[in-house]
Homo-oligomer: A and B are copies of this chain.
Amino acid sequence: MHNRVLLIEDDDELRELLARYLTGQGFSVREAANGRDGLALALGQDCDIAVLDIMLPDINGLEVLRELRGKTHLPVVLLTARGDETDRIVGFEVGADDYIPKPCNPRELVARLQALLRRIAWDHKTEVDASRIYGDLRVEPGQRRIFQNDQPLDLTATEYEVLQVLLSRAGSVVRKTDLMQWALGRRLEAHDRTLDMHISNLRKKLGNDDPPRIETVRGLGYSYRVPV
C-alpha cells in the first residue's frame, strides 16, 4: 500500500492506462515519457520501485538501467516486447529484478510489483527505508514517523500518509482526488470533507505558520511549500 512507482514508458496511451490502474490500486505514480526524464526522476529518491520500458525514444531502456545501477539499487521491472528473449536476458544481466512481456496484464504487473516490494521488506533495509529530508522535516518511512527539527510529530496513520505524499511532491500541487487515493486509499466523493479535516489537523500540528506550509490551491488541491 502507498508505494511510489515510477513509470518510464513512451507510449502515452499505455502509460496513462497503467498509471490510472496503478493509482487505483493504491500506488502513487509518477511518469516519464523518455529515458532522460526517467533517469532523473529515478535518481530523485522519490520512488520505491520503477517500471521501465526497454524501447524508448532517446536512451535505450537497458542503458537507463545500467546507468541507474551505477548509483542505486532501486528495484526495476522491465517491460519488453513479447518474445524478445535477448533483451530479457540482457536485462537481468544488467541488473533488472523482473520483467514483463508486453502487452502486459495490469493485474500481473501489480502482483509482480508487490512480490518484489514484499521481498524487499523481508530482506530489509533498502532505499525504501531511507529517510528523506524536506527543510526542517524528516520522514522516516521505517518508523512511519515524521520529525520536525528532530522532534517526532504526533501524527495519526492517515495524517502521516497525507503529509508524506505532500512532501514527496513538495513544490507541486497535489490534486485532491489523487491525494485522497494515495493517502486514504479511496475515491474522493462529492461533499466529502475528510481530507480537509486531515489537512486542518496537520496544519495545527505543524504549527500554524504564515505563510502556511501547506498551501491551498483553490479548486485543485494542496501543495507543500518547497523549503529554502
Contacts and interface: CB of A to CB of B under 8 A. Distances in A.
A121 B178 contact: yes
A116 B95 CA distance: 10
Given A85-B105, A97-B119, A172-B129, A144 B217 contact: yes
B105 A92 contact: no
A14 interface: no
A9 B145 CA distance: 46
A113 to B, nearest CB: 9
A83 B1 CA distance: 27
B119 A123 contact: yes
Contact of A223 (B112, B143, B171, B217): B143
A26 interface: no
Contacts of A96: 115
Contact of A95 (B118, B142, B143, B169): B118
Interface in A76-98: 85, 88-89, 92-93, 95-98
A73 B144 contact: no
A59 B141 CA distance: 39
A211 interface: no
A25 B97 CA distance: 19
Given A85-B108, A122-B126, A171 B143 contact: yes
A124 B171 CA distance: 12
28 contacts: A73-B122, A75-B119, A85-B108, A88-B111, A92-B114, A93-B111, A95-B115, A96-B115, A97-B119, A98-B98, A119-B119, A119-B120, A119-B123, A120-B123, A123-B123, A123-B126, A124-B124, A124-B126, A124-B168, A124-B169, A125-B125, A142-B172, A143-B171, A144-B173, A144-B217, A157-B218, A157-B219, A157-B220
